[in-house]
């Protein structure tokens, strides 16, 4: 009867909770897209036109800095590069309307991420508590396809050959040490 290791339990827990992780990624992308869209909407039309004509004269960034209205220097990755408006940084000038929209999306993302982490940890702990492969498969049938196939000792080690090699080890008293 094989026992599960902590590392294997972690890997199986990750595979069992894959759908939740993917859902968190979708919510994260929505959050990043919202920040990107709001930032781009604040970029003046003239700047966008100048950027199209002469992009080499502009810094672009893959993240936006949020500060004020409940945010404190948070950096949010964007879904596309945006034109920097604060030297070499992209700093979103927060308003209460922007902050409300962004904060609602951020809280949704944080909550889904926290729920995923709890589910993954709970699944891993349950697998470790059940200990044996048989008990895991009986109590969590979905884990069976992620468990390694059972192995027998005969396939792992040839004990006859091993015992023969152990018995034929050289005797230290007969071996001459170089002087």
Helix then strand then coil, % of the chain, to nearest 5: 60, 15, 25
Measured CA distances, 34 to 48, 101, 160 (Å): 19, 8, 67
More confident position, 87 or 111: 111
> What per-residue confidence (pLDDT) applies to 1?
59
Over pLDDT 70: what percentage of the chain? 90
Give per-residue pLDDT as tens, 30-72. Answer: 999 999 999 999 999 999 999 999 999 999 999 999 999 999 9
Give per-residue pLDDT as tens, 103-160. Answer: 999 999 999 999 999 999 999 999 999 999 999 999 999 999 999 886 655 455 667 8
Tell me the three state secondary structure of residue 77: strand
> What per-residue confidence (pLDDT) applies to 151?
64
> What per-residue confidence (pLDDT) applies to 178?
63
Work out the pLDDT band at 83, boundaries 50, 70, 90.
very high
pTM: 0.79
More confident position, 101 or 161: 101
Return the closest-CA partner of residue 109 out of 38, 29, 18: 29
């Amino acid at each position: 009867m094989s026992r599960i290791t902590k590392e294997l339990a972690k890997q199986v827990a990750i595979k069992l909770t894959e759908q939740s992780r993917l859902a968190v990624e979708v919510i994260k992308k929505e959050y990043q897209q919202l920040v990107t869209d709001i930032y781009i909407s604040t970029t003046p039309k003239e700047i966008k036109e100048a950027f199209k004509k002469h992009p080499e004269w502009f810094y672009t960034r893959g993240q936006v800095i949020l500060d004020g209205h409940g945010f404190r220097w948070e950096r949010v990755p964007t879904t596309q590069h945006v034109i920097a408006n604060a030297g070499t940084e992209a700093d979103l000038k927060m308003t209460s309307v922007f902050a409300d929209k962004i904060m609602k999306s951020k809280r949704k993302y944080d909550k889904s991420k926290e729920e995923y982490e709890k589910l993954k940890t709970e699944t891993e702990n349950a697998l470790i508590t059940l200990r044996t492969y048989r008990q895991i498969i009986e109590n969590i049938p979905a884990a069976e396809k992620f468990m390694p196939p059972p192995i027998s000792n005969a396939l792992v080690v040839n004990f006859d050959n091993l015992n023969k090699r152990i018995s034929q080890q050289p005797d230290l008293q007969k071996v001459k040490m170089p002087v």
